Structure 1
Amino acid sequence: MRVVICGAGQVGFGIAERLAAEQNDVSIIDSDARQIQMVTEQLDVRGIVGWGAHPDVLARAGIDQADMIIAVTLHDEVNMVACQVAHALFNVPTKVARIRAQTYLAPEWSDLFSRDHLPIDVVISPEIEVGEMVLRRLSLPGAIDTVSFADGAIVAAGVVCREDCPIVDTPLNQLTQLFPEAQATIVAVSREGKTIVPTALEQLQVGDIAYFVTQADQVQRTLSIFGYDELPSQRILIAGSGNIGYYVARELERRNPLARIKLIEKNRAKAQEAAEHLNRTVVLNGDALDQSILDEAGVGEADIMVALTNDDRINILSCLLARQLGARRILALLNEQGYAAFARGLGIDAHVNPRQITVSRVLQHVRRGRIRGVHALLDGSGELIEAEALETSPLVGKQLRDLDTLDGLRIGAILRDGKVMQPRGDMVVRANDRVVLFALAERIKRVEQLFRVALEFF
């Protein structure tokens, strides 16, 4: 696949890194020559210095032969114009744009991105994507990562195996006997920095990060089997009233009438604006690193402290201070990929990485075959994927135990006719099944082949 990426920042670099590693033909455009030099020195991609919305710059990037343009610069308008130019002058089939300003996404302007106006096939809003991820974390205490598939019918979650975890040192094939109420499949394990696809005889160890897949209404029960029995957070303290912090507070007000929400914002004008638009949230103007402000916000009684400012260091330090002052759980927004392991070592329960979320959203539309959902995890070492099995799929008509193609893959659940089923060795995949699985990064191409649309299908 030939892809042109506009923007070589964190998100653009992350997308280019993934696509180049999978042997795609990638060109990346940025107005910052130093940024382009850094990308081309690290990745096997073509770098072009210039503005991604300019036709001559796009032409130098090979846009006339591209299958897709992905516009993820810091400027919404550049992203929109780049897609318009790619469509009007070069007839690029698929156009993806990152749009951050919420006014463009308001329901009353929904026709803006139609083919007759601004022909953008996929609009990605990082603030909404990240905000929804934070809301899912708040509803599932104990999970360090969550994502839903199959229109919300199936959920995948990651948990840390603590010393009091009841299922450590137990072969996975015995879990059903020991916990008959457990209707979940463990599809991936991160152990000492290495990601593995567990076999039936694998045993979880203390310190492992385990990812399981289950029916949506079984997630809380599965978390309790791992030793996490906490109720969803009700007393919530948020640091930062930017786009993400404001979105989380507003949606909490709408979705959870029992939630008691307090929000700390350092900028006085932004704090006043948030106070004017939020109904039940108590807004405090102050620094989240100021102990007196945290005390005034009742941090010692908070179920969770959620740090969503634009500064990773403030997020980490304010979370650690909140923990010291009595907050039961802490959640930090971390933009820098390298901070994740550092924060975990300091005791931060969970973090959200906007770049990883945005990259996952883009990959969903890059993947070949009938891929419906993608979620990159564990620093990109693997992906949770939802795919639809068509009549031409090599999976269809065979028992799972007879398939010799599943090395490096593990199926977590299958949705058939609206019913979620756990995979079993004697199960036969049927056409139109929606399959949720985990695949190591080096096996992604195989997943695409398993769910490809063959020419004979037409």
Structure 2
Amino acid sequence: MKILILGAGQVGSSVAAALATENNDITVVDTDTQRLRDLAEKLDIRTVVGHASLPSVLAQAGAEEAGLLVAVTSSDEVNLVACQVAEQQFRTATRVARLRESEYLKVASAVNVAISPEQLVCRHVERLIEYPGALQVLDFADGRAQLVAVRAVRGGALVGHEIRELRQHLPAHVDARVAAIFRNGRPVKPEGSTVIQAEDEVFFLADARNITTVMSELRRLDSRPTRRLLIAGGGNIGRKLARTLEKKYQVKVLERSRERARSIAEELLNSIVLVGDCADEDLLREENIDQTDIYLALTNDDEANILSAMLAKRLGCPRVLALINRPSYAELVEGGSIDIAVSPQQVTLSALLAHIREGAPARVYSLRRGAAEAIEAVVRGDRRTSRVIGRSLEELELPEATTIGGIVRGDKLLIAHHDVVIESGDHVILFVMDKRQLPQVNALFQAGAGWL
């Protein structure tokens, strides 16, 4: 497929990298010549320098032959105009746009799929608050199954034991599957004999109702309920999150700008809004940071978020989360003084991939800063047209670094055991730890899965 990506920023570059290895013809448009040159050196793509909304630039980029346009520049207006030009002048079939301003979401008629980073990040953080100790919480099959990442800690019942022992620790009605393990940043394929070690990042799949039970086997869960939250940063994300969370928690918002703080205070109903610097140690002490259950550093400054989250942790806050735009920063700090590093680019990329992969999978999640993916494939066809229907999981020739966590059939999650047989209509949840193996996964599922 010929794909046009407008914008070579972090999201645009991530989308290009994700799709360039999948036999797509990709052209990236941006006004920054150096950024395009750097991207072209890493990927087998074509680049065009120019303003992405201009018809002449889109024509030069090959919009007439493109089946998909992905507008992810830093300007909502440019993204909207580009989609409109692509629809009216070039008849581009699918037009996806990133729109930060929520008001545009209601009037973007030229956009097939509108992605709001702020809404996505807010929902992502809400789920992390809902499950204390989780690093990621990913929904599949409309929430019937969840893939949860946790860091195994000393004292967890399963730490130091083989994965096959997990079933012995769970109640009779609970089943779960360890889908992947990352140890010191490297993937470890989960076998029955694999021993879970402290500090492992463990991804497991379970019915949404059983997540807390399974988490307790990998880490000691804090018995203290989450009540008090402190949000540093009153930008779009901080403001939206406070508005949602104040219905369930005691929320404080710390904002440096007095004018913005006043505006936020007028908008919120039950939250306390403070004016000050999130790196002010005296202020954090005055606000009883040691009695706060979760500290959320959500300013627009990566360094400020990292430093203030580390400070809050040192002052006694049991759980801290930082919004970090630079992937290299997030990789460095997560798991140390900072419990969770949230990357808006990776959250946005996951949403984009679910819409722009040819055929559109039901769900795609970009994991480990883009190195791995969790995919939900809806199987269609019959025994004649599909290479997977009617076959048991042990018969499938999966790539070495790919595992099937489970199958959602109707309202029931079937955990992936060797004798489970795939049927038409099943939602198969795969974990691909090495994205270079995606073409092999595609080849296996291409005849009968709804995302290929």
Q: Same fold per TM (> 0.5)?
A: yes
- In the TM superposition, what are the counterparts of 1:4-403 in structure 2 within 5 Å? 4-105=4-105, 109=106, 112-113=107-108, 118-181=109-172, 182-230=174-222, 233-254=226-247, 256=248, 259-344=249-334, 346-369=336-359, 371-391=361-381, 392-403=385-396
Match of 2:349, SS? helix
Note the C-alpha offset of 1:341.
2.5
Moved runs in structure 1, 4+ residues, more than 6 A? none
- Structure 1 counterpart of 2:441: 447
Task: Give the partner amino acid of 1:426.
Answer: D
Structure 1: distance between partners of 2:192 and 2:90: 51
Task: Give the partner amino acid of 1:49.
Answer: V
Question: Per-residue displacement from partner, 1:200-221 (whole Å, max 9, x unpaired)?
Answer: 2222122211111111111111
Question: Do the aligned partners of 1:262 and 1:297 also contact (CA within 8 Å) in 2?
Answer: no
Question: Do the aligned partners of 1:138 and 1:232 also contact (CA within 8 Å) in 2?
Answer: no
Q: TM-score, normalised by structure 1?
A: 0.93
Structure 1: distance between partners of 2:254 and 2:169: 45
Q: TM-score, normalised by structure 2?
A: 0.94
Task: Give the partner amino acid of 1:344.
Answer: E
Structure 2 spans left out of the alignment, 5+ residues: none
Structure 1: distance between partners of 2:277 and 2:264: 15
Question: Do the aligned partners of 1:369 and 1:453 also contact (CA within 8 Å) in 2?
Answer: no
Question: Do the aligned partners of 1:153 and 1:215 also contact (CA within 8 Å) in 2?
Answer: yes
Note the C-alpha offset of 1:180.
4.1
**Aligned residues with identical type, % of pairs:** 38
Q: Which shows bigger deviation, 80-89 or 123-132?
A: 80-89
Structure 1: distance between partners of 2:397 and 2:79: 43
Q: Which shows bigger deviation, 281-290 or 144-153?
A: 144-153
Task: Give the partner amino acid of 1:56.
Answer: S
Note the C-alpha offset of 1:454.
6.2
Of 435, 444, 455, the match for 2:428:
435
When residues 339 and 87 of structure 1 are mapped into structure 2, their CA distance, relative to the original with a 3 A threshold, is: same
Question: Do the aligned partners of 1:239 and 1:308 also contact (CA within 8 Å) in 2?
Answer: yes
Match of 2:142, SS? helix
Question: Per-residue displacement from partner, 1:101-123 (whole Å, max 9, x unpaired)?
Answer: 01223xxx3xx23xxxx321111
Task: Give the partner amino acid of 2:431.
Answer: F
**RMSD across aligned positions (CA):** 1.8
Question: Do the aligned partners of 2:162 and 2:192 also contact (CA within 8 Å) in 1?
Answer: yes
Structure 1 spans left out of the alignment, 5+ residues: none
Note the C-alpha offset of 1:310.
0.4
Note the C-alpha offset of 1:393.
3.2
Note the C-alpha offset of 1:187.
0.7
When residues 206 and 103 of structure 1 are mapped into structure 2, their CA distance, relative to the original with a 3 A threshold, is: same
Structure 2: distance between partners of 1:323 and 1:408: 36
Question: Do the aligned partners of 1:383 and 1:438 also contact (CA within 8 Å) in 2?
Answer: yes
Match of 2:270, SS? coil
Structure 2: distance between partners of 1:193 and 1:252: 32
Structure 2: distance between partners of 1:367 and 1:179: 37
Structure 1: distance between partners of 2:169 and 2:290: 38
